[in-house]
Amino acid sequence: MTPSPSPGSADLDFTLDRSSPVPLYYQLAQQLESAIEHGSLPPGSLLGNEIDLANRLGLSRPTVRQGIQSLVDKGLLVRRRGIGTQVVHSQVKRPLELSSLYDDLETAGQNPSTRVLRNEIQPASAEVAAALGISEGAEVNVVERLRLTHGQPMAQLRNHVPAGLLDLDTGRLESTGLYRMMRSAGVTLHSANQSIGAREATAEEAELLEEPEGAALLTMRRTAYDDTGRAVEYGSHVYRASRYTFQFQLLVRG
Amino acid sequence: MTPSPSPGSADLDFTLDRSSPVPLYYQLAQQLESAIEHGSLPPGSLLGNEIDLANRLGLSRPTVRQGIQSLVDKGLLVRRRGIGTQVVHSQVKRPLELSSLYDDLETAGQNPSTRVLRNEIQPASAEVAAALGISEGAEVNVVERLRLTHGQPMAQLRNHVPAGLLDLDTGRLESTGLYRMMRSAGVTLHSANQSIGAREATAEEAELLEEPEGAALLTMRRTAYDDTGRAVEYGSHVYRASRYTFQFQLLVRG
DNA sequence: CCCCGCTGTTTGTCAGGACAAATCTTTGAC
DNA sequence: GTCAAAGATTTGTCCTGACAAACAGCGGGG
């Protein structure tokens, strides 16, 4: 028998800083996560039981459990009673965040840029009012942008924001993403309803996106809410299907 | 001043069964959730502080916190230090599960039915082998189905399952969904990578789905993994964009 | 040789307590 | 009247301790 590559409980050294303002369980979770990413904790390996781990780190078991639990919720670890906690064996990358297209493209090295086609205050149409939960005719900031990657058109983005919520400077809209501007304005996003579909390009869309007329386009409509339940943005976007797909990962909630 | 509709801390009566095998924190979470659904806890209302709640229920504070935390993770509640825990004000329905199309349609009252077009064992193509993480040419079960709602074609579903993992009886495939068959066969789904795009219908697809040739179609590719990290299914599906959109909700992980 | 039950291991659940940090409210000073 | 400081309230973090439940592996009986 060769020495079996069975999941041995790896013992790594973690450094915890009790004087740091960042919680201990979170420090543990971060170091575990980076150990998993760097391969120090290969897929399938066991973590060693929680009580030993707590003793070795000088922590209590609930604190260790809290740190581990956060990674279980992320889908990186799996717990089994009587067995232990082991690193999940599949490739887990992004658990589908409420991310902005701009950030997604930037992290993918796609070199995104933006051209603002429209940026004005208008009374809300019936569709926009219903999506934002405001009265028809109330003032909303309408922004229409063309998103490009490597100089090629990628998507037409049309956003509606309740007037007064945000200062939508055209210059900043061209240099960064809308969600970044929201967060720096103190708006904390909480949830969003999304709807993804497809349809054929109209003549105007075809010209703007440099696609043949009637080409298949991906559509996405999204209403985003902050943590008080207030609708802060309604977006109606169109993507070139030949150059973009939505990619994400789902987790089964146990 | 009229009596302000400010969020008063509602005091409800919960019944906990300590002899039940279902955990106390979970009993609390379920009753809180149903109270929110039924409107006993209206959006914006406060829950009352955890210590009082624990005393009233005869529970410890960690147990109460665990129950509340599970609803926070679901997006139903929001905690604020110094303020309290309150019911989130937006409409939260489904936090995007890894659900099967069949179940989705059935719960939506769409009366789904299935016609199996193909069900056979074949050697894996390069694409399928890469998606499932198996060697090219290994045997896979290929299932091709037409999904209908109210007798109308809705989607063409093509699934690939490693041979031997599951007994794919054609009769059961027509009367239920693939994911239900997997679960009843002891396969516990853990995560999946999805990719949603669009393209124009080929002549064959157009005829099968009763769409004009070149019509916009929604495409979805998904690889599903069980909790050991093993790929258990690769699906490549095509939906009629005129009759179907992907709808789901996202939560921002704090 | 196979099946059953026993035992050790590990996570799941629950209790009770303590202090820190963030927030709102009230009070006081100017 | 306005602003700042002090206090009260509530959640966030962390500790110790205990028992229950599920699982793997071992050994005995058939």
Alpha helices in chain A (DSSP H): 24-38, 50-57, 61-74, 101-107, 126-132, 170-175, 178-184, 203-209
pLDDT at B89: 79
Q: Is the CB of B24 under 7 A from strand D?
A: no
Question: Would you call B191 and A252 a contact, using CB atoms and an 8 Å cutoff?
Answer: yes
Q: Is the pLDDT of residue A225 over 80?
A: yes
Q: Is the CB of B95 under 7 A from strand C?
A: no
Closest to A246 (Cβ–Cβ): which among B96, B97, B195? B195
A237 pLDDT band (50/70/90 cuts)? very high
DSSP class of A44: T
B240 pLDDT band (50/70/90 cuts)? very high
Phi first, then psi: what are they for A128, rounded to 5°?
-65, -40
pLDDT at B108: 63
Question: Would you call A191 and B253 a contact, using CB atoms and an 8 Å cutoff?
Answer: no
Sorted by sequence, the CB contacts under 8 Å of residue A217 that are 6+ apart come out as A198, A199, A200, A201, A205, A209, A211, A238, A239, A240, A241, B198, B216
Cα atoms in the Cβ-side hemisphere of radius 13 Å centred on A72: 16
How far does CA B88 lie from the centroid of its chain?
21
SS3 call for B108: coil
Residue in chain B nearest A91 by alpha carbon: B229
Sorted by sequence, the CB contacts under 8 Å of residue B80 that are 6+ apart come out as B86
Sorted by sequence, the CB contacts under 8 Å of residue A24 that are 6+ apart come out as A16, A18, A59, A63, A67
In chain A, residues 231-250 whose CB comes closer than 8 Å to chain B? 231, 241-242, 244-250
How far does CA B211 lie from the centroid of its chain?
28
Closest to B192 (Cβ–Cβ): which among A62, A229, A249? A249
A48 in reach of chain B (CB within 8 A): no
Q: Is the CB of B6 under 7 A from strand C?
A: no
Closest to A191 (Cβ–Cβ): which among B90, B200, B230? B90
How many Å apart are CA A210 and CA A213, to the nearest integer?
9
Q: What is the pLDDT of residues A31-84, one digit of tens each?
A: 999 998 888 888 888 888 999 999 999 999 999 999 999 999 888 899 988 899
Of the two residues A251 and A232, the one the predictor is more confident about is: A232
Phi first, then psi: what are they for A62, rounded to 5°?
-55, -35
Sorted by sequence, the CB contacts under 8 Å of residue A95 that are 6+ apart come out as A74, A75, A248, A249, A250, A251, B253
B200 pLDDT band (50/70/90 cuts)? very high
Closest nt by CA–C1' to B47: D10
Core vs surface per residue B209-247: b (16+ CB within 10 A) or e? bebeeebbbbbbbbbbbbbbbbbbbbbbbbbbbbbbbbb
